[in-house]
Amino acid sequence: MLGATITAGTITSVLGATVTAGTLTNLLNGTITSVLGATITAGTLTNLLNGTITSVLGATVTAGTLTNLLNGTITSVLGATITAGTLSSVTSISQKSFQESQLISTPTANTFTALPAVTTSVFGTYSFFVYNRGPGVNRVDALVEISANGTNWYTDVTTVTGILSGSVDVLVPQRFLKYTRLSYRSSLIGAPSTIDVFFNGQGT
């Protein structure tokens, strides 16, 4: 079709066609091999093999490859690959950030020893994983402390009966402040043990 305007209706299949200008208001299915200077205002492109789209407004690309996007806004991209071009503005990224730190084979003592504080103001969810390596039946006490200034600390969560040798406990802070740290000690005086500590934090 040359110089034609389709004002309403549904195109169920487009094979090997070139759209040189104009507006596609609704594309339900099919393959477009070349799109030059067109504006797609709504609908779903299920397969785009090649070509240049100068403007995409309110459309959803569900599969295929966009080899060149010169201008416009993409509101939804599902299962597509963008191989070239420039993203000048990204309003949001849904994937959450993740941070992990660990301290392996740490010996316990008779009094509480604090690990370095973690700045938890950037996390929505975070916890401490503590594994008691032993030896023998020596137990370990652990507690989570929180602070607003990194100097004065408040005990937030503690182990109830001590972590048995060969066992794990996960301490999840119940209150939010800027800084959080884990402290640990031997449950019994003169009965040291060895622990592995992991901190896992997930951003908002």
Using 50, 70 and 90 to split pLDDT, how confident is the model at 204? confident
- Tokens 């048995």 belong to 164
Condensed to tens digits (0 to 9), the pLDDT of residues 32-45 reads 555 555 556 566 55
Q: Which of 5-14, 63-72, 119-128 has the lowest mean pLDDT?
A: 5-14
Output the pLDDT for position 160: 86
User: Which residues belong to CATH 2.60.120.380 in the chain?
Assistant: 98-203
Rounded to the nearest integer, the mean pLDDT of the chain is 78
What's the mean pLDDT in 186-199? 97
Using 50, 70 and 90 to split pLDDT, how confident is the model at 81? low
Using 50, 70 and 90 to split pLDDT, how confident is the model at 203? confident
Residue 71 has pLDDT above 70, yes or no: no
Condensed to tens digits (0 to 9), the pLDDT of residues 100-144 reads 999 999 999 999 999 999 999 999 999 999 999 999 999 999 999
98-203 placed in CATH 2.60.120.380: yes
Q: Could you give the residue ranges of the DSSP H alpha helices within the chain? A: none
What's the mean pLDDT in 160-178? 95
- Phi, psi (rounded to 5 degrees) for 202: -120, 130
- Tokens 């507690």 belong to 143
DSSP 204: -
